[in-house]
Structure 1
């Protein structure tokens, strides 16, 4: 995947589903359920149990064109392992060595940043887009404040984003939003109760914002 392809996918879907869990089999089932529900831009966090195997198995099940990425990528070695597992893009929680390493591996990066200085650092390191993280405490006003000096930067708020705040962030100019718990719930830990309904609600929101 090229950086412009990640931007195109974010602009079209408006939603990144974040899967993180302690049950690898349940996490894999969650990825596949989300994909079947029409939410196909999915990040599997490396902080989950056996996350690299979840990515690998998801890639085998969904095929080579699936929009499957690795999240919580912190180091250059994390980036290498994510690429080997089949991640098409990388998401970091901050501007770490993983940003440049992923770029050098040919993986577009959604790099975490919260301040103007961090936004500039992310872009200089080669990020394709900026993950505004954690977005919850600053809310929509933080996004608006950052977009004033950086109107052309593609921002993806993550952290504290639910259906209501997702709608507000998208209306305020976010390219997309990243959602974990409010969408996935405890499905990746073995309890899929309500996952299909939540997926339907978030998909409707994303489609309405497109």
Structure 2
């Protein structure tokens, strides 16, 4: 296995990845600005969005080095290469493809492949994933995540898929290192990027980060007691 890249610093710091997926990517730069105004600085632009790579490059250029912008729904090595060429700072996939993972890790780029079973999680980790995306997280809920973490505590897991703003802390309480949230956070702001809609998005981002911070603060005394 090649050297494992570190988890994206912005994701480690905030424990939230915002997923930008839309039928029309033209509104996503405004959405990205609203999210970062609320404190979310790890953004995934899915390749299912028309013009995704141009949008990714534009967001990265506009927001600068303090914001990490990656590509999601990366299914092939060709897509991985194109995303990296466009400036993606991390890759996210819904599945475990060791070739895609290797394409990222050889260049020092973190990759977060999607997995569901213990075998898939372990395979992704062995292939060099920086962390493994539990997907779809809502199908088994926090209980499934907790059961996965029990035999695999050394593998960082990001809960993605059906995770809402109010449910995020339950996945973190169950052992997730971070959560990824898309439509429950955006709520159509990508389709209607008016000042009011974007302002509400910024407020939701702040609310989410406050809940995540509260969950982390509550977990800290438990870890100290266990040590």
Q: What is the TM-score when the length of structure 1 is the normalising length? A: 0.93
On the 8 A contact 1:75/1:98 being kept in 2, the answer is yes
Structure 1 stretches of 4+ with a deviation exceeding 6 A read none
Aligned pairs for 1:38-187 within 5 A: 38-96=39-97, 97-187=99-189
Instruction: Describe the superposition over 1:93-140 as per-residue Cα deviations: whole angstroms up to 9, x where unpaired.
Output: 111232121112321111110001101110122101000000001001
On the 8 A contact 2:10/2:67 being kept in 1, the answer is no
Structure whose alpha-carbon radius of gyration is higher: 2
Q: Find the aligned partners of 2:180 and 2:7 in 1 and give their Cα distance.
A: 17
Residue 33 of structure 2 corresponds to: 32
Q: Find the aligned partners of 1:104 and 1:70 in 2 and give their Cα distance.
A: 17
Name structure 2 gaps, 5 residues minimum.
217-227
Residue 144 of structure 2 aligns to a residue in which SS? helix
Q: Find the aligned partners of 2:86 and 2:66 in 1 and give their Cα distance.
A: 14
- Taking only aligned residues, the RMSD between alpha carbons, in angstroms, comes to 1.6
Residue 178 of structure 1 aligns to a residue in which SS? strand
More deviation, 194-203/157-166:
194-203
Deviation at 1:159, TM superposition (A): 0.5
Change (3 A) 1:103 1:144: same
1:195 to 201, 213, 227: 201
Equivalent pairs, count? 208
Residue 167 of structure 2 aligns to a residue in which SS? helix
On the 8 A contact 1:100/1:126 being kept in 2, the answer is yes
Deviation at 1:10, TM superposition (A): 2.8
Instruction: Describe the superposition over 1:56-111 as per-residue Cα deviations: whole angstroms up to 9, x where unpaired.
Output: 00111012442111111111111111111111111111112321211123211111
On the 8 A contact 1:10/1:175 being kept in 2, the answer is no
On the 8 A contact 1:92/1:99 being kept in 2, the answer is no
Q: Find the aligned partners of 1:139 and 1:12 in 2 and give their Cα distance.
A: 24
Residue 188 of structure 1 aligns to a residue in which SS? coil
